[in-house]
Amino acid sequence: MRLIAFAVAVITVFTCFGNNNPTDSVKVFFRIGQYKYDPAFGNNRQAMDSFMEILSKAYSEKNVESIEVRAYTSPDGSSKGNQRLSELRCNAIADYISSKLGIRESLIHKIPEGIAWNGLRELVEQTPDVPSRNAVLNILDNTPIWIYDRSGKIIDGRKSRLMSLDKGVPYRWMLANLFPRLRNGVVISIILRETKEERNQDEGVEDNGNSDIEEKKETLERDENPQYKEEDNELQSPKVSLPAEDISLPSDTVKPSRGDSNFALKTNLLGYAVLMPNLEVEWKVARRWSVALEAQGAWWAKNIPHKVYRLSTVIPEARFWPIERSRWHGMYVGVFAGGGLYDLSRGYKGHEGEGGMVGVSVGYMWPISKHLSLDAGIGAGYMRVRDKEYEPLDGHFLYLLTKDINYFGPLRLKLSLVWRIPK
């Protein structure tokens, strides 16, 4: 478990007497998920003290044009969360500098960069061990941060494609090996005045070149960080489902019924107890034979946290009625086969897949009114499922593994309300 990750804060000092002046830099460290500047953490106190001496001297000489504080994060985490964390870290560093040296807040420009896509691109370029490295570079170079449809809805993006590339292997490798080097990155720049005249100006007077600096800075921010303006819509595509039901057997005597057609509509009351609407139609094709088709499905989902309960099955069945007290009442045995899809997640690891089943059933149907009956039945057999395990991560779905599941046992349980369609 990664308990601590640091971010490098590079502080570049631009001097005013030509191009030969030295550049000083310092590293600042943050804990994972934290935004408060901690002088006691790592080497922060010693490094920042040295830098503050340089800044204090330049400021006392009225030599400071402006101070830029830029914060970066790695791609893991939501874009909104990363942007907010960048803002908080910018504020923390700016407040620290202002409180220590009494520097006017108007001189400190806070620029929360959010995800450091350019930094990630450089790390991938410099690291030959990245799985599918060329494909990763192609996505970083050619895929926009967000991809929209004609209505303006986000349908895809750079991060989503990285996560789906080669079943998520490159993304998981970068998550473990490269992202820690991007986290908590802060860049602090001191921009000094360029002329003696500007250095001698009163501290409260804005100089004429300041608007050009602001314009360039805003253009750079806009060009390099399009995600800074975008809404952070979570990407998610719907999936569907498969059933797994248990079994029990009711029984009773029944009375004959009259005036019914060869068709009946049924709905399994037990399905609604597990939030699974369903419908079955049965057709009497001969005196002791009938065929049925059952469809059921649940389609429930919550995006944050990612909780999904999606099941859908279609099961045809052929039935023989060895004991028949009337057209629709008595005992039947059947043979069924079917298949379906599923997607199940409780907020952490999820499972989706598809499967098929085949089995035998037994049931009993008896009347409760002129055109209504109850149908109780069970079924058992064999089911084979291709299961794909995934992990909801940052609004996307990270593929983990695939396995085949073979199951023998109970497959169906029903207590259905039946409407015998009148002639």
What confidence category does residue 16 fall into, taking pLDDT thresholds of 50, 70 and 90?
very low
More confident residue, 370 or 23: 370
The answer to whether residue 17 scores a pLDDT higher than 60 is no
Helix then strand count (H, E) for the chain reads 9, 14
- Work out the average pLDDT over 255-274: 81
Between 189 and 53, name the one with better pLDDT.
Answer: 53
Q: How would residue 52 be classed by pLDDT, with cut points 50, 70 and 90?
A: confident
The contacts of residue 391 (CB under 8 Å, 6+ apart) are 348, 349, 350, 397, 398, 400
How far is 234 from 153, CA to CA, in rounded Å?
11
Q: Strands 9-14 and 64-73, how do they pair?
A: unpaired
Q: What is the mean pLDDT of residues 235-260?
A: 41
pLDDT at position 78 is 74
* Stretch 34-51: mean pLDDT: 80
d(CA 213, CA 197): 18
pLDDT, tens digit, 9 for 90 and up, residues 109-145: 888 877 888 888 888 999 999 999 999 999 999 999 8
What confidence tier does 97 reach under pLDDT thresholds 50, 70, 90? confident
Residue 282 to residue 299: CA distance in whole angstroms: 25
Rounded to an integer, what distance in angstroms lies between the CA atom of residue 273 and that of residue 7?
51
> What average pLDDT does the segment 145-152 reach?
85
Q: What is the pLDDT of residues 157-176, one digit of tens each?
A: 888 899 889 888 999 899 88
More confident residue, 329 or 110: 329
The reported pLDDT for the residue numbered 314 is: 96
The band of 282, judged by pLDDT with boundaries at 50, 70 and 90, is: very high
Q: Compute the average pLDDT of residues 356-364.
A: 97
Mean confidence (pLDDT) of the chain: 77
pLDDT band at 23 (very low <50, low <70, confident <90, very high): very low
Predicted confidence (pLDDT) at residue 204 exceeds the cutoff of 70: no
- The pLDDT value given to residue 329: 92
Instruction: Give all domains of the chain, ordered by start, each with its CATH number.
Output: 9-116+182-228 (3.30.1330.60), 260-422 (2.40.160)
Q: Rounded to an integer, what distance in angstroms lies between the CA atom of residue 257 and that of residue 423? A: 12
- Ramachandran class of 204: left when φ > 0, alpha when ψ lies in -120 to 50, beta otherwise: alpha
Asked whether the predicted pLDDT for residue 248 surpasses 60, the reply is: no
pLDDT of residue 318: 97
The answer to whether 184 and 29 are in contact (CB under 8 A) is yes
- Partners of residue 316 on adjacent β-strands: 293
386 contact partners, CB below 8 Å, separation of at least 6:
353, 354, 355, 402, 404, 405
Joined tokens for residue 35:
């935004």
Q: Which amino acid is at 28?
A: V
| pLDDT recorded at residue 398 | 84
Give the Å distances, CA to CA, from 301 to 3, 235, 295, 355.
32, 14, 20, 21
Average pLDDT over residues 54-61: 81
pLDDT at 210: 52
Q: What is the pLDDT of residue 214?
A: 53
Predicted pLDDT of residue 85: 81
Kindly state the DSSP code that residue 241 receives in the 8-state scheme: B
Indicate the pLDDT class of residue 335, thresholds 50, 70 and 90: very high
- Res 141: pLDDT: 92
What integer pLDDT is reported at residue 296 of this predicted model? 94
pLDDT > 90 in the chain, percent: 34
Of 361, 350, 363, the closest CA to residue 397 belongs to 350
Cα distances (Å, whole numbers) of residue 356 to 44, 278, 295, 346: 60, 18, 14, 24
Q: Residue 266: its pLDDT value, please?
A: 96
Tell me what pLDDT residue 19 has.
Answer: 34
Supply the pLDDT for residue 331.
Answer: 95
